[in-house]
Structure 1
Amino acid sequence: MAVSFLSKRIALTQRNFLKIPKRNGYIVLLPEIGEESSEKNPLLKDDNLPEFNTITIEKCIAAIGKQTVDFEEKLKSLEKITSKDVFNEWLLPIEDAYLPLETTWGIAKTLYFGNQSLMPTKCYMSIHERATRAIASKFGSAPLFRACKEALENKDIKLTHSQRRVLTKYVLEGTLNGLNLQEKEFKKYSADLNFIISKIKEYKAKYESSTAVYSMVIYNKHVVEDFPEDYLKSIAIDPRQPYMGPWKITLKPYILQPFMEYCPNRELRETIWDADVIRCSNYQERSVQASVTLEELRSRRIEQAKRLGFKNYAEMNMKTKMAGNLENLYNMLEVLRSTALPIQEKEIANLTEFAKTRDFNDIIRVWDIAFWGRKQRHSMYIDENKWKEYFPLPTVLSGLFKHIETLFNVKIVESKKADIWHKDVWFFDIFDLNGSNVAPIANFYLDPYARGTEKFRKEQASGWVSTIKSKSKVGNSTPLIAMIFNFPPPIGDKPSLLSFKDIQILFQKFGHALQHLLTTIEYSDIAGLSFVEWDAVFICDFFMENWLYEPFMLQKISEHYETKEPLPAEAIDSIKKMRSHLAGYKLCKELYLSHLDLELHSSETFWVTIMKRLWPKYFVLPLEKRDVHVCNFDVIWSGNWAAAYFSKIWSEMIAADLYTAFQEIKFDESQHKELGMRFRNTFLSLGGSYPAAEVFRQFRGRDPSPQALLDNLGVNNNLKNNETDRGILFRL
């Protein structure tokens, strides 16, 4: 969760290091732009769709330069208004000025993910930072903050629920930006922020240097003989000869993770594991050591939270989380941990026995889990790579689209009207079958295939959702996004064949996209994923993924690409059971990292002490002497997930509980349609117009429980199924 560049809202709080703390104006260097830019967005055609055929870096930079200046000047002019009609006189003009900027930024982001030759990283980051600073300024405006606060408190002002929710967003973000502080305290707050910004940049530079400097070259063909072909191509020094070698291993996640699974040489696995966990630690040269940097960073974050009246940074972060408070969160972690840890003990014991039957004569260590886990999984179930021939992309997409159409009463239709940035990109209209069948309610681009270094890549199986336009009544705009993946491209008459991991990513990202595409909220500040709590933004991702383990869904999305035979029953059974393989260990790992993050941002104890205390609570295996993974925990030090790493596991828990509602009615298409419309009218429609806990109660009729997640993962437990003993019903 990812920022996640996954179509998340931009929320300017202390977490956002790109915020400008000063409120007395901004300096933006404006490149020269053509006359046409003053009349319209030069990146859009007459039909308001991006003109991808002619977009250049220069056009993006010119457009974003002018739009950010226009936006900031608009904000300054509005600050002089004395009208009490804050919503119509202030917020609607701000939204109108924001929308063109959002579109240009979204176009640049789409090209960054989809074609780095058209939008290199350096150019995109320049656009990203400029846009973020400008948009963030509206949450740093003291006059606007005071006006919104007064409007909320004035009972004589008539506001709709959605309008009140928009005002609530401005007040919350302004409060978390220190706008309630007196001038003297605000200066200290700003000094804290500037210090935090400098330390984040310092850490990021060290992390990137530490990651980039390491590589290992393999010449021995026996080491790579079990490696999948796609992976061999990604590590071969000459990708045209993936089987010839040599092969280069780096610490990039999409290289590192498969290597740990497939490498049969234990010493090499340990070497790579060691290089990974000591990144930025004192085991490395001084220039990349980050222990002191992260200590200074976490200390100042806690200090900054205290200035705003919170006990610590983790407590402050709960203001923007569905979990609500740390007590709820720690209760969830403990319920899941107490169930998963005993399961993990059995899993590691079984894995050790399995390895010993294959001439392994040592104890299992951390760097052995992925390798022996894959071996064990393939001995118990069908090798998932053998299923690829049953999952051609066109068949998977057809089945996915039909399921979405059935559940949510929409129609997805391919269209040729849009410009595209590559010949492989598709464009789709979405029609609401409850309304007009002429005008689409939303659109999306789909860029499915890997294209070497042309596309941005992080994880082994990665996908991105890029927002180009949000739903807005004032801007008369409907949602438009791009979904970008790295699936195997078709070769000749052979279509793109997906691994099960690819399909998981596809379903997750479509879940994420649907929350933006099917929103009915008319203000962009609270439409789609805007103002949705950070730990709720992945709920629809995991909700959609849950369908993948139903036999009827697997049958719907599969067919052998040559013989047209259905997916074998044993493969369907394997997929369902495979989900629970090492589920206790994997769950404990996510729970540990979540707890570690929270403790690091709520305690001033040295990080080594925290790490050593928490590790044995979550793992059967001992903490290795050189394991100092806190130093390379980059998503909480240089990313946007400080005190928020738990967000994905919380979203997964909520999604499992929501999905249980569909399981309870078994497979009945009419009831699924009825329940699907209820899901659409709540989680997909309401965006951030209501708190996520309230939306959950609208759908489920109660508070959430962790039991469904344990059931989904196949983690056996001692909790009963009645409502009073379903683990804990979290009172939100």
Structure 2
Amino acid sequence: MIENNPLLSKTNLPAFSKIRPEHVAEAVRYCISKCRETVERVVAEHSDNPTWDNVVEPVEQASGELGKVWGIVSHLNNVISSDELRCQHDAMLPELSEYSSWEGQHEGLYQCYKNIYDNTVLPPFSKRALDFFIKSFELSGIALRDAEKKRFNELKSRLSNVTSAYANNVLDATNSWYFHTENKDELRGLPDSAQELARQEASGRGLSGYVITLQFPSYLPVMKYAESRELRFKCYEAYVTRASALGPDHGKFNNDENMREELSIKKEMAQMLGFKNYAERSLVLKMASSTDEVMSFLETLVVKSHAQGGLEMRELEDFAKSEGFSEKLEPWDILFYSEKLKEAKYSINDEVIRPYFPLPQVLQGLFRLVNEIFGLSIKQSIDVDVWHKDVSFYDIYDSDGKKRGSFYLDPYSRDKKQGGAWMDSCTDRKVDRSGSVTLPVAYIVTNFMPPIGDKPALLNHYEVETLFHEFGHALQHLLTTVDIESLAGINNVPWDAVETPSQFMENFTWNSEVLAMISGHIETGEILPADLLCKMIEAKNFQSAMGMLRQLEFASFDFRLYRDYDQNTDIHSLLNEIRRDIAVVPAVSFNRFENSFSHIFSGGYSAGYYSYLWAEVLSSDCFSRFEEEGILNPETGKMFMDSVLAEGGSRDFMEIFESFRGRKPSVEALLRHCGISNNSTER
């Protein structure tokens, strides 16, 4: 019965413990039917005199209900996937695509929106929202002829299946491989925490000894610390061939065809809309104005980073030789010798740092930080229904004690959970015509090493940065003051600006005052000692140019692939060409990174991976104002909160940036924060 379906509950928070796979189809179909009925009704009743209240609001309310239900289903499929849930999730994709196409090409609704936009005096936010709605119609093919619409919709439906299949293959390929040994000597060099995790993993599988998986908390320590080059190679090979014909599963989860089909579909759809390629189409709602501007931006950073990156790589090769390594440095050697070099130069490594960052202490310090600079208070709520025992829930209040929103935190890696880290919306902020406010709710998901035994999870500094990063996204979602759902939080923020708050927050993790807040030794409670802090800061930009070049390699591959793809393009050859031009780290012929590059094939970053670097320019420049006026300056914090964090998609993001910074962005702060000299030479 519909009234008993927990996905359709009117409560702001989902009843996760009650949701079952069999609820999915009923709830989604009910919402689609309600959306159709609403569209047909408002067009029939109000096409002669459409207004925001009688057309836009009821349609957006129905669409919001569908979006919330599908958001819950997609979220659960990402964090507690099962065969049954995946089956139900994937079965709904064609129906959702068909409805989206029907609404996006509904001539009567489009004309109502156009009529309101052209003939009504509207508040600025409403006008801007309508502008986005009208662009959405145009990008959905409203202007196409009937035969073209049919083809466009077929492609759109197929695309949703292909992107889902790509993501499923990456998850399944990651989960299918593991290395089992009963010989502890094979794990020589691994920190105690990594060895204990491997023992815990084996025990969970009913095995004796140790198990290494391709989950990042298991995989990364092997690449950094395992003295067995054979083990490093074995894990590396399995990791970089995931979801490819060369994978250890003998091609069972091969994404080759999914990539080709997705690229072909997106190009054809873009050209049907009048664009030369998908990269050009992707920029319609971004800050960057042209494909040439994006490529020029990336090339500028390559030029500024390449010489220093080459020096860093040569330093690593020389160091490996000094350690008695006489062979060619291969990719499975890079992290191992990099970690040794960092320790030799700065007397520091991740495992020395990790005991100072128990997750509870980091969270407590993070909450204290946002209290000092933004006046926010964060309180945990215990009696909230969650999807897994490791999930916690928090409410966030402003300086006046007014609740602004809430968030779930799902911190640990586990089977059947997508890798990586992300923030997503559970509920968006909106205000209905009666003045009733729906407060925003966020999901924050990471994949940290889980607690071992009775000790809390211990984070390395990169993981601390990751937590701050995702929390930055959540702050923009939760602190929005925009009343229109489609402009609130991260909605309709340009994709190449949406990483600004997240990357901004990362900067605090390198500040001594903040590190004193977020650190506390697992055994003694001692904050990070001054000597370790100094070493950490000295090592902050270790191999930073190599890291920058790696991001430029990914971004250039993504953008050129979606700009230049045709049926003759060899995806792997294009990646190798870009590596030869940009990378300073050696590549190997069997690396099939592209087959698990989920960001650009199933994660929304198609022709948009450059956004991380684009937004890092903005975030570094924003943070430089805090450096000038005081890292914990509450006045500066309030200005940042009231502009970048609060205004969502309600204004052009460059205007928002300039209102905070007082000028246009400069790349100088990014280069300074990364320790990359600006005295570059042309290559």
Alignment TM class, shorter chain as reference: 0.7 to 0.9
CA 1:270–1:494 in 2, change beyond 3 Å: closer, same or farther? closer
Which whole-Å CA distance do the structure 1 matches of 2:243 and 2:516 have between them?
47
1:98 is matched by which residue type in structure 2? S
Q: Deviations over 1:119-176 (max 9, x none)?
A: 9544555578766765675434332233323433x2x410111111111111112211
Match of 1:270 in 2: 233
Q: Deviations over 1:71-114 (max 9, x none)?
A: 23222323323144342222111232234444444444555566
Alignment of 1:530-541 (within 5 A): 530-541=491-502
Which whole-Å CA distance do the structure 2 matches of 1:308 and 1:350 have between them?
50
Which whole-Å CA distance do the structure 2 matches of 1:590 and 1:569 have between them?
32
**SS of the counterpart of 1:533?**
coil
Q: 1:173 aligns with which of 133, 136, 141?
A: 136
1:471 is matched by which residue type in structure 2? R
1:400 is matched by which residue type in structure 2? L
Alignment of 1:27-426 (within 5 A): 32-34=1-3, 43-44=9-10, 48-52=12-16, 54-58=18-22, 62-80=26-44, 81-108=46-73, 111-112=76-77, 120-123=85-88, 138-152=103-117, 154=118, 156-193=119-156, 196=159, 200=163, 214-232=177-195, 234-236=197-199, 239-240=202-203, 246-278=209-241, 291=256, 294-381=259-346, 382-416=348-382, 418-421=384-387, 425-426=391-392
Alignment of 1:643-658 (within 5 A): 643-658=607-622
Q: Deviations over 1:556-587 (max 9, x none)?
A: 11223443333111221222233211211111
CA 1:639–1:515 in 2, change beyond 3 Å: closer, same or farther? closer
What is the deviation of 1:645? 2.0
Q: Deviations over 1:659-698 (max 9, x none)?
A: 111112244x5xx211111111111111111232222222
Query: In 1, are the aligned partners of 2:167 and 2:602 still within 8 Å (CA)?
Result: yes
CA 1:205–1:469 in 2, change beyond 3 Å: closer, same or farther? closer
Alignment of 1:667-682 (within 5 A): 667=631, 669=632, 672-682=633-643
Match of 2:519 in 1: 558
CA 1:232–1:194 in 2, change beyond 3 Å: closer, same or farther? same
1:264 is matched by which residue type in structure 2? E
Query: In 2, are the aligned partners of 1:254 and 1:458 still within 8 Å (CA)?
Result: no
Higher deviation after alignment, 62-71 or 530-539: 62-71
State the identity %.
Answer: 29
Which whole-Å CA distance do the structure 1 matches of 2:204 and 2:253 have between them?
35
CA 1:293–1:118 in 2, change beyond 3 Å: closer, same or farther? closer
Which whole-Å CA distance do the structure 2 matches of 1:572 and 1:131 have between them?
51
Query: In 2, are the aligned partners of 1:108 and 1:119 still within 8 Å (CA)?
Result: no
Which whole-Å CA distance do the structure 2 matches of 1:510 and 1:519 have between them?
14
Aligned residues: 672
**SS of the counterpart of 1:79?**
helix
CA 1:144–1:458 in 2, change beyond 3 Å: closer, same or farther? same
Query: In 2, are the aligned partners of 1:516 and 1:528 still within 8 Å (CA)?
Result: yes
1:308 is matched by which residue type in structure 2? L
Q: Deviations over 1:523-558 (max 9, x none)?
A: 111110111122222211111111111111101112
1:265 is matched by which residue type in structure 2? S
Which whole-Å CA distance do the structure 2 matches of 1:294 and 1:241 have between them?
34
Which whole-Å CA distance do the structure 2 matches of 1:323 and 1:690 have between them?
16
- Report the TM-score, using the length of structure 1 for normalisation: 0.82
Match of 1:528 in 2: 489
Query: In 2, are the aligned partners of 1:112 and 1:119 still within 8 Å (CA)?
Result: no
Matched, 1:624 2:588: yes
Q: 2:562 aligns with which of 601, 605, 608?
A: 601
1:396 is matched by which residue type in structure 2? V
What is the deviation of 1:713? 1.4
Gaps of 5+ in 2: none
Alignment of 1:470-509 (within 5 A): 470-474=428-432, 476-487=437-448, 494-509=455-470
Match of 1:614 in 2: 578
CA 1:583–1:509 in 2, change beyond 3 Å: closer, same or farther? same
Which whole-Å CA distance do the structure 2 matches of 1:57 and 1:184 have between them?
36
Which whole-Å CA distance do the structure 1 matches of 2:244 and 2:7 have between them?
47
2:545 is matched by which residue type in structure 1? G
Higher deviation after alignment, 127-136 or 522-531: 127-136
Higher deviation after alignment, 193-202 or 520-529: 193-202
Q: Deviations over 1:171-214 (max 9, x none)?
A: 11221121122334334434544565566567667666766665
CA 1:468–1:134 in 2, change beyond 3 Å: closer, same or farther? farther
What is the deviation of 1:707? 2.1
- Report the TM-score, using the length of structure 2 for normalisation: 0.87
1:431 is matched by which residue type in structure 2? Y
Which whole-Å CA distance do the structure 2 matches of 1:58 and 1:282 have between them?
34
1:551 is matched by which residue type in structure 2? S
**SS of the counterpart of 2:190?**
coil
Match of 2:655 in 1: 694
2:344 is matched by which residue type in structure 1? S
Match of 1:25 in 2: none
CA 1:53–1:283 in 2, change beyond 3 Å: closer, same or farther? closer
CA 1:487–1:316 in 2, change beyond 3 Å: closer, same or farther? closer
Which whole-Å CA distance do the structure 2 matches of 1:202 and 1:109 have between them?
14
CA 1:282–1:499 in 2, change beyond 3 Å: closer, same or farther? closer
Which whole-Å CA distance do the structure 2 matches of 1:360 and 1:719 have between them?
32
Query: In 2, are the aligned partners of 1:535 and 1:647 still within 8 Å (CA)?
Result: yes
Query: In 1, are the aligned partners of 2:193 and 2:452 still within 8 Å (CA)?
Result: no
Which whole-Å CA distance do the structure 1 matches of 2:252 and 2:8 have between them?
44
Which whole-Å CA distance do the structure 2 matches of 1:701 and 1:116 have between them?
46
2:296 is matched by which residue type in structure 1? N
Q: Deviations over 1:460-498 (max 9, x none)?
A: xx4x43422211111631112233445556678744433
RMSD: 3.5
Gaps of 5+ in 1: 1-31, 721-726, 728-732
